């Protein structure tokens, strides 16, 4: 295997021209059945593997869909990437993922590598870089941005409707009679901000007393925050954690302290995807439309024209399980 066999090798072996092998292999123009068989046999005999690089250089296109991921460990984006990949597969595209590691240099590098594939399109999953830096790199590549709203991106942006999600949380809890809700937030990220802001606005609108406690998007953040709440003696009747992982931490701390859920305190999570903890922990939560995001992204990339591609915010849905219940009547 000192040198990969080329089309010419196959052609020579089969006693035909290179062009014929090419067309036969791609099944485009008509080739005599007997010749095709001979060619196929030759391919196998020679051990031919098409060089997709050359193919894409010659044809000017490829069946690749590029995905720019901040980092494989972010479960949310990884789940979206997975959804994109599944839908791309179904459309006959191969997904190639590059990670930017949250740095501008890394993302630049990744996008360059991705666009170099002359891909059918690129999906940006929560890029770090500013739009001005990204757009020139993308050039004419059909691009959709997920989660971050990039106005100039050719095929528009797909975002989550955080306000709708937060509304589901507040209305569910308020509907159960809770007059005071504590939000354990997700720290300083963009979505943590959005959720916090929406929470404040929504509770006000619902006439519910809001309280914000600093936390993070992981189990330890929820655990720590709940313990702090416990220590401060400021336990509300309802807690909404920034996501399901944090909510698991809250449950842990609460149960450790002998607090009953949902008897004494109702707990809600939000949006987690990998852990699927919700089911077994009976966590009431808000489910994000991950699959729909992936599907829409691929559809937009594949759409022949770029009409109707503004920013769309997909709506999440409420999943009621056992961790929330009626607010306990004050003993007073």
Partner DNA sequence: GTGAAAGCGCTAACAG
Partner DNA sequence: CTGTTAGCGCTTTCAC
Return residues touching DNA (CB under 7 A): 3-4, 6-8, 16-20, 22-23, 25-26, 28-32, 34-36, 48, 50-51, 54-55, 57-60
Kindly write down the DSSP assignment for every residue of 191-247, as one continuous string: HHHHHHHHHHHHHHHHT-EEEEE---SSHHHHHHHHHHHHHHT---SEEEESSHHHH
Closer residue to its own copies in complex, CB, 1/33 = 1
| Residue 265 C-alpha from the chain's centroid | 31
Pick left, alpha or beta for residue 9 (phi over 0 → left; psi -120 to 50 → alpha; otherwise beta).
Answer: alpha
CA atoms of 40 and 323, how far apart (whole Å): 61
| DSSP state, residue 100 | -
Question: Residue 47 binds which one of its own copies, DNA, none, with CB within 5 to 8 A depending on kind?
Answer: its own copies
Question: Residue 26 binds which one of DNA, its own copies, none, with CB within 5 to 8 A depending on kind?
Answer: DNA
Among 16, 91, 96, 206, binds its own copies (CB under 8 A): 96
Smallest distance from DNA to CB 40, Å: 12
Q: Does 235 bind its own copies (CB under 8 A)?
A: no
Q: Does 89 bind its own copies (CB under 8 A)?
A: yes
Question: For residue 168, what are the contacts with CB-CB under 8 A and spacing of at least 6?
Answer: 286, 316, 317, 318
Smallest distance from its own copies to CB 255, Å: 4
Residue 232, Cβ density class (10 Å: 0-12 exposed, 13-18 middle, ≥19 buried): exposed
By the criterion CB under 8 A, which residues form the site for its own copies?
1-2, 4, 47, 49-54, 56-57, 64, 71-73, 75, 78-79, 81-82, 85-86, 89, 94-99, 101, 106, 109-110, 112-113, 115-118, 136-137, 139-140, 218-221, 223-224, 245, 248-249, 251-252, 255-256, 258, 273-277, 279-281
């Amino acid at each position: 295997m000192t040198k990969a066999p080329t089309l010419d090798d196959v052609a020579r072996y089969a006693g035909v021209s290179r062009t014929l092998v090419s067309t036969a292999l791609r099944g485009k123009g008509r080739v005599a059945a007997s010749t095709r068989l001979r060619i196929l046999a030759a391919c196998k005999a020679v051990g031919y593997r098409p060089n997709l690089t050359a193919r894409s250089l010659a044809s000017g296109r490829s069946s690749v869909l590029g995905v720019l991921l901040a980092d494989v460990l972010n479960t949310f984006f990884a789940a979206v990437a997975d959804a994109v990949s599944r839908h791309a597969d179904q459309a006959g595209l191969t997904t190639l993922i590059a990670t930017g590691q949250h740095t501008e240099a890394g993302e630049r590098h990744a996008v360059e590598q991705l666009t170099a594939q002359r891909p059918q399109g690129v999906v940006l999953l929560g890029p770090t870089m500013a739009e001005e830096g990204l757009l020139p790199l993308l050039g004419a590549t059909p691009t959709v941005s997920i989660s971050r709203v990039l106005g100039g991106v050719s095929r528009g942006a797909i975002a989550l409707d955080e306000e709708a999600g937060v509304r589901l949380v507040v209305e569910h809890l308020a509907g159960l009679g809770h007059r005071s809700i504590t939000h354990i937030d997700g720290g300083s990220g963009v979505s943590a901000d959005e959720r916090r802001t929406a929470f404040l606005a929504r509770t006000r609108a619902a006439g519910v007393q809001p309280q914000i406690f600093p936390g993070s998007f992981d189990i330890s953040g929820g655990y720590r925050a709940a313990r702090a709440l416990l220590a401060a003696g400021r336990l509300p009747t309802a807690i909404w954690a920034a996501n399901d992982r944090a909510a698991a931490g809250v449950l842990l701390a609460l149960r450790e302290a002998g607090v009953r859920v949902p008897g004494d305190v109702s707990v809600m999570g939000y949006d987690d995807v990998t852990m699927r903890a919700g089911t077994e922990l009976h966590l009431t939560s808000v489910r994000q439309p991950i699959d729909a995001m992936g599907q829409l992204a691929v559809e937009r990339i594949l759409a022949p024209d770029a009409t109707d591609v503004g920013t769309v915010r997909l709506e999440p849905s409420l999943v009621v399980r056992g961790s929330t219940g009626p607010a306990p009547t004050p003993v007073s």
